[in-house]
Amino acid sequence: MTSPHRESSEVGLHRVIEPAGVLPQGAWRLDNRASIWPDEVRVQVERLNLDAASYRQLHVKHQGVGAAIRAEVLDIVSNRGKMHNPVTGSGGMLIGTVAEAGPASPLGLEVGQRVATLVSLTLTPLAINDHLAGWDGLSEQVPCTGHAILFARSIAASLPEDLDPELALAALDVCGAPALTARVVGQVLSGESGVAPSVAVFGGAGKSGSLALAAARRAGAERTVGVVPHHAEADRLTASGLADAVVVADARDPVEVSAAVVETLGGPADICVVCVDVPGCEHGAILATAQGGTVVFFSMATSFAAAALGAEGLAADVTMLIGNGFLPGHAEYALRLLRTEPGVRGLFESRLGESGKPTYEPGTRKSGRGAED
Amino acid sequence: MTSPHRESSEVGLHRVIEPAGVLPQGAWRLDNRASIWPDEVRVQVERLNLDAASYRQLHVKHQGVGAAIRAEVLDIVSNRGKMHNPVTGSGGMLIGTVAEAGPASPLGLEVGQRVATLVSLTLTPLAINDHLAGWDGLSEQVPCTGHAILFARSIAASLPEDLDPELALAALDVCGAPALTARVVGQVLSGESGVAPSVAVFGGAGKSGSLALAAARRAGAERTVGVVPHHAEADRLTASGLADAVVVADARDPVEVSAAVVETLGGPADICVVCVDVPGCEHGAILATAQGGTVVFFSMATSFAAAALGAEGLAADVTMLIGNGFLPGHAEYALRLLRTEPGVRGLFESRLGESGKPTYEPGTRKSGRGAED
């Protein structure tokens, strides 16, 4: 263990190299040394799950060439000491085994315990030791060998015994979405009108989208519609039975997608949950939401300015939430949905594919300028 | 008037040149021709108000050289047909006089009426005809000659007779902030606990910040604290009497600013309103907010990913709102505050300066990499 000259901070400030004075999530570079401070935990990493927006950006940038994608991920981690996509600002999660737990760590983890981190890779010191030799660069799940560090204030979940680790990791990566969706539906139900809300989910066939649909229904939504970008996803979502209705529309086309929602629900949605992995969906979500309604943005590709100014420009009186990746009980809730909703499980398993690799299906892409192109 | 081959859209789609299928706010380039469609209004522009985040970015980029700042603004408008800062994604507002109102325009505006737009410059077709010869590039307020277009669904406010146009424009540019702050305070008051919330405002001496402080107090906040970056602003805010407490802290330093709030309020704030013009304040705002509390981001410099992942990484159960630039009645409310709160008026007037020019006070800048640098 290190006898550091720097005192440990429960939020990891001691691992921030550059710039000074910011939290790990905001830092350009972290110290990813293996030796731990007394209140830290070192995890021997076995797999990363890159978040969808990040992986898509890398895939598009490198035109689907796995070796180039792999090279860039290695480069990012080497330069930054963490997996933090500089374009999307997002990261993902990881699973591994506890290798060492400092005597002052409050996390209650034991050496040998298998865990998933519940804090973003964008704040997790990480070192990769195997050049990602076991990853073909063609999916979000990244087998790797290396180590990661948890701070005193980090949170982690024990990997459940009854689920494949890849499945659990995929669900835990997005577990804020179902929890917050359920909360928002519940708030509307217990609000002034007491009327059960209609809920539209953009990207309804994806990981966070399918969980959000399941959560919305369980929380008492009156009617749900899953919006998907093409017919293969529509078929999968329909087969899952998770949504009351499924519609194909391009969420980047505000007129098209809002018309699709209005037509399907008979009016704009009370709640619109945005779970896409591409930029440019803010205006469609706002147009698809009723006055006085709520838009919940989970997509890491969301542009703050586009949402704020878009609503202003449309004189849209909608509440817009930045989807929080954390709610108390969120991990347990997501795993419960995974276990008890066959539709969710089926979608997740088909996404991971028969060989255990996720099948990546790039959608058609609008041309246009923007930070993420 | 144009006899267009393109049919007019109430949200201005017919003016989008590139890329196809997006709303004006999301477009790279707009058609800023002077001839109007039947449901449009053309405004002879007299003054732009650039939003604070945009102006600061330009000022820093060009190291305060007015001619270079002016040249870039001209360049942007010439290339894009609107004033849409490509780095911050933000714009501002404008005032002018109605030059022509199409017979099918629902806005009820008359030729010769003096108006302020209540929709962002980022979606407003604009042409500048005087090379900004009357602007020294050193402030957010930009005297200019040119024209702008309002769509059927745009909103505008008549310039009040009793206020200087610059004053009214400055308040109208940020009128979403006091309205939403008042709403959030009211929601907490009428919520389960019914306890009056404490409110911290980052950037409390600024335009949106001072209005937010005034609104919070009027809406029933139990205690308010204005957080400012340096002592000159602290003196001004204290003199205004708008906040119960004033504290100097760098909002980009999450530990410093949250400690300052906690020390001043005796605990984290129930509501934290972020009205700064610099990036990097998301984590400080989250740390400064109580579990179960609300963070309202108005700053156009807000990073969605930093907020979402920051809260996740801190296991912070906070509701995070994207500050909507529109609420019903927001313009009238902001002007009412301007008229009836001497503290607000004083701050605005001193910001505009004796000569009518705003005094720009660049703060010290942390080094570091990021999209906005």
Mean pLDDT of chain B: 92
Residue A248, beta-bridge partner list: A228
Closest CA to A294 of A173, A212, A370: A212
The SS3 assignment for B206 reads: coil
CA pair distance B364, B373, nearest whole angstrom: 14
Closest CA to B293 of A329, A194, A320, A324: A324
At B371, is the pLDDT very low, low, confident or very high (cuts 50, 70, 90)?
Answer: very low
- Percentage of chain B lying above the pLDDT 70 cut: 93
The answer to whether the Cβ–Cβ distance between B254 and A118 falls below 8 Å is: no
- Tell me, what DSSP letter sits at residue B151? -
User: According to the model, what pLDDT value does residue A5 have?
Assistant: 66
Nearest CB neighbour to B25, from listed A88, A256, A310: A310
Copy the structure tokens of residue B69.
């700042």
CA nearest A117 in B: which residue?
B313
At B319, phi and psi to the nearest 5?
A: -85, 130
User: According to the model, what pLDDT value does residue A185 have?
Assistant: 98
The answer to whether the Cβ–Cβ distance between B316 and A328 falls below 8 Å is: no
What is the pLDDT averaged over residues B359-367?
Answer: 41
User: According to the model, what pLDDT value does residue B200 have?
Assistant: 98
Least confident of A175-179, A183-187, B251-255, B299-303: B299-303
CA pair distance A352, B195, nearest whole angstrom: 48
At B148, is the pLDDT very low, low, confident or very high (cuts 50, 70, 90)?
Answer: very high
Nearest CB neighbour to A89, from listed B253, B298, B306: B306
Chain B residues whose CB is inside 8 A of the A309 CB are 25, 89-91, 120, 122-123, 300, 325
CA pair distance B261, B284, nearest whole angstrom: 10
What are the respective helix, strand and coil percentages of chain B, to the nearest 5?
35, 20, 45
Chain A residues whose CB is inside 8 A of the B310 CB are 23, 25-26
Asked whether A153 and A11 are in contact (CB, 8 A), the reply is yes
Q: What is the CA radius of gyration of chain A?
A: 20
Beta-carbon contacts below 8 Å between A and B: 219
At B361, is the pLDDT very low, low, confident or very high (cuts 50, 70, 90)?
Answer: very low
Asked whether B115 and B333 are in contact (CB, 8 A), the reply is no
Predicted TM-score (pTM) of the model is 0.89
At B277, is the pLDDT very low, low, confident or very high (cuts 50, 70, 90)?
Answer: confident
The SS3 assignment for B349 reads: helix
| First-to-final CA distance of chain A | 43
- Tell me, what DSSP letter sits at residue A89? -
Q: What stretch of H or E contains A293?
A: strand A289-297
User: According to the model, what pLDDT value does residue B369 have?
Assistant: 34
Q: For the segment A101-121, what is each residue's pLDDT rounded down to a tens digit?
A: 999 999 999 999 999 999 999
The amino acid occupying position A180 is L
User: According to the model, what pLDDT value does residue A99 have?
Assistant: 98
CA pair distance B14, B77, nearest whole angstrom: 18
Mutate to test the interface with B, among A90, A184, A309 (most CBs of B within 10 A): A309
User: According to the model, what pLDDT value does residue A18 have?
Assistant: 95
Is B330's pLDDT higher than 50?
A: yes
Chain B residues whose CB is inside 8 A of the A321 CB are 319-322
The answer to whether the Cβ–Cβ distance between B313 and A369 falls below 8 Å is: no
The answer to whether the Cβ–Cβ distance between B88 and A24 falls below 8 Å is: no
Residue with tokens 């108005």: B298
CA nearest A322 in B: which residue?
B320
The answer to whether the Cβ–Cβ distance between A23 and B313 falls below 8 Å is: yes
Asked whether B270 and B199 are in contact (CB, 8 A), the reply is yes
Residue A51, beta-bridge partner list: none
Q: For the segment B165-211, what is each residue's pLDDT rounded down to a tens digit?
A: 889 988 998 999 999 999 999 999 998 888 999 999 999 999 999 99
Distance from the Cα of A308 to chain B's closest Cα (Å) equals 5
Segments of chain A with pLDDT less than 70 = 1-5, 354-373
DSSP state string for A204-224 = TTSHHHHHHHHHHHHTT-SEE
